[in-house]
Amino acid sequence: MKWFENNQDLFWKSVLFLGIALNLVALIISDNGLDYHVKSSYVEVEEGYSLDWGDVRLDNPNASDPNDATIFSVKPITTSGKAMAGFCIAILAAMALLVDKRFAGLILLNPAMIFSVGKGYDEPAIAVLMGMVVTMLYLSNKMKENWLIKSFAGLPLVVILLMKNPSPSDSLLIPTILLIILIGCSCIIPVRLLRPRLMLGIGFSLGAGLILLLGILQMGTHSIITEETGRFLFSIPFALLDTVIIYGIFAMVIWPFVKSTWQKMATSEDRLAGELSFLIGGFSGVIMMYVAVLWTYESVLWGSSWPWHMVTMGNNGRYITLLIIPAYMLVKQVNGEIDWQSKKVFFGIVLILPFSLLAGLHGQTMWTDDAAQSMDLQENQDFLFVSEATLAMHWLYTFHDPLDAEEKNITGYWRSDTSSWNNDLDEDLSHIDWLVLAPEIEVNPNGWELYDSGEVDFLNGGGEWRVFKRA
């Protein structure tokens, strides 16, 4: 520990360079993730845009329907792509440098961020947008006429909403507009009423309450709250653990500062700290409850084993990374000078390091790339993909780009391993000559010859995928 205390500059430079290296490696060796493939599969149709092979959330839990696809008037906003994710993580680190150079190292070494960069996910871009909100709040508190800048601070929130929630039935547009108005008007609220502890609690309660209200009103996915109340309530403490504690306090290495920050928040009369606390509390409440809704809804939709479904979908906790800049800014604003020589900081970094190395150096490959390349599909030909129901449509869409499906007018169909897919191939899907079986499917279909197969990496699930051609 003496070395850590006496070589702070060298230590933090090492953290910064290691973080940069791991992000670069993740960009190079990881394949794009499931969400990226889904978002890149929107095609233009007569009335707008829709997913090419049908919605990922199916009415029939055992079969896809390419004709059952939600149509959006405009193409959903996305920043997906590894190049964009890499650019955004660099912007994010630059923003953190303005707060404290050591926070930049923590962002670059964050396992969830490295994972998202390698997958080409939206999280780095969303965190940048939230960083813009914080920047405008900071500037507004430094300027005399600050209400206008605070109003503009809400615009990135609208972009985040459109990126994460394009479905009209699930729209949070009205609450978002109310939040923007509240942010704009906060400059006239007496600072004594903006105590950070109080604002954190109020924000969290309002955020969590909003999701409950959407459930009571039967709004889209949130209606599962009233339909599966017991399962939803059971998932809430695990969602809190996953989002706020594991991906938030632990992975962001905030826990070394929690005690001092919490104590000082009780007496702080800093307007910016109060606004940041409200923002952090509100989004934490929304994200925690939303993850609980997702786990409940998707476990029912896919017939997943409960409660193990929460473990399978545990990486939903990464959504909390949008608060990484507000959280670091709050810690800095409340504490002023931070004790970076604390042993807790050192151990905090050591504890996340194995996860950061795993996310950066191992990455994740998609076996579906190899399976897609092995099929000799021509224009206007289709194929069937058979797998278990969990994330099935997400996996189906990983075939879309490698097959150049939009250009060649290729359609992919999915059937669950518990369905009568063998019979479907002789009836509704009799025009299909290509069949892909996921690693968990061990059946050898009659009337089909094995065309190709391959092994899946153990850390990516293991097993053997197989491609068949009609005999």
Which tens digits make up the pLDDT trace of 8-26? 889 999 999 999 999 989 8
Confidence (pLDDT) at 168:
47
Q: Which stretches of the chain score pLDDT less than 70?
A: 1, 77-82, 144-146, 165-174, 363, 459
Confidence (pLDDT) at 254:
96
SS (H, E, C) the chain: CHHHHHCHHHHHHHHHHHHHHHHHHHHHHCCCCHHHHHHCCEEEECCEEEECCCCCCCCCCCECCCCCCCCECCCCCCCCCHHHHHHHHHHHHHHHHHHCHHHHHHHHCCHHHHHHHHHCCCHHHHHHHHHHHHHHHHHHHHCCCCHHHHHHCCHHHHHHHHHHCCCHHHCCHHHHHHHHHHHHHHHHCCHHHCCHHHHHHHHHHHHHHHHHHHHHCCCHHHHHHHHCHHHHHHHHHHHHHHHHHHHHHHCCCCHHHHHHHHHHHCCCCCHHHHHHHHHHHHHHHHHHHHHHHHHHHHHHHHCCCCCCHHHHCHHHHHHHHHHHHHHHHHHHHHHCCCCCCCHHHHHHHHHHHHHHHHHHHHCCCCHHHHHHHHCCCCCCCEEEEEECCCCHHHHHHHHCCCCCHHHHCCEEEEEECCCCHHHHCCCCCCCCCEEEECCCCCCCCCCEEEEEEEECCHHHCCCEEEEEEEC
Which tens digits make up the pLDDT trace of 194-225? 899 999 999 999 999 999 999 998 888 899 99
Confidence (pLDDT) at 385:
98
pTM above 0.85, yes or no: yes
Confidence (pLDDT) at 281:
96
